[in-house]
């Protein structure tokens, strides 16, 4: 039977997974593929139906680190999720892409983040980092198959 500290540890992992998944803008199946587990495993961990095995947790941390996301749920009472600058730039590009939104969610006007005007050099750098991050994500998912 899990102890109270086990339950808290599982809760921290579930919160971190949901936070990262939400920030990345991926569903449970996509996140599962990224970290090398099944979709039902992600669902069970996020809903606290099951705890995550230590080796699976370590693998998740490693795969997320490769794309610039650092998660810590073990070494303090806090849940810490950090996005390194290169991953933030990639996320900015992905999240502001109107083409990735559902038709009923495409917006213009008030309430929509205005595009950031970057120099051509900076745009190229961001595009390269985005492509590199996407390739790492793709390679991670191929490695887990």
Query: For the chain, how long is the longest CA-to-CA vector?
Result: 58
Question: Which domains are seen in the chain, by residue range?
Answer: 4-144 (1.10.260.40)
**Residues 74 and 121 sit within 8 Å (Cβ to Cβ):** no
10 Å Cβ neighbour count for 13? Answer: 22
Sign of CA dihedral 40, 43, 46, 50: negative
- Res. 108: pLDDT tops 60: no
pLDDT of residue 17: 94
CA distance 37 to 56: 8
- Res. 53: pLDDT tops 70: yes
Sign of CA dihedral 74, 75, 78, 84: negative
> Which tokens is 56 given?
């699976």
Top-confidence residue, 60 or 144? 60
* Lowest mean per-residue pLDDT among 44-48, 63-67, 89-93, 103-107: 103-107
- Res. 109: pLDDT tops 50: no
pLDDT of residue 90: 75
Q: What is the pLDDT of residues 131-140, one digit of tens each?
A: 777 777 777 7
**Residues 34 and 140 sit within 8 Å (Cβ to Cβ):** yes
Residue 82, helix vs strand vs coil: strand
**Residues 141 and 33 sit within 8 Å (Cβ to Cβ):** yes
CA distance 11 to 123: 39
Mean pLDDT along residues 91-99: 70
CA distance 6 to 140: 29
pLDDT of residue 110: 45
pTM beyond 0.85: the answer is no
């Amino acid at each position: 039977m899990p102890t109270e500290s086990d339950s808290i540890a599982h809760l921290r992992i579930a919160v971190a997974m949901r936070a990262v998944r939400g920030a990345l803008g991926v569903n449970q199946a996509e996140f599962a593929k990224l970290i090398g587990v099944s979709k039902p495993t992600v669902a069970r961990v996020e809903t606290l139906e099951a705890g995550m095995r230590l080796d699976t947790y370590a693998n998740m941390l490693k795969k997320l680190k490769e794309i610039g996301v650092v998660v810590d749920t073990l070494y303090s009472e806090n849940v810490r999720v950090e996005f390194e600058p290169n991953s933030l730039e990639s996320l900015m590009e992905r999240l502001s892409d109107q083409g990735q939104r559902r038709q009923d969610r495409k917006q213009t006007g008030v309430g929509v983040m205005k595009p950031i005007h970057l120099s051509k050099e900076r745009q190229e750098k961001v595009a390269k980092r985005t492509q590199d991050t996407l390739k790492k994500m793709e390679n991670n998912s191929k490695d887990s198959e």
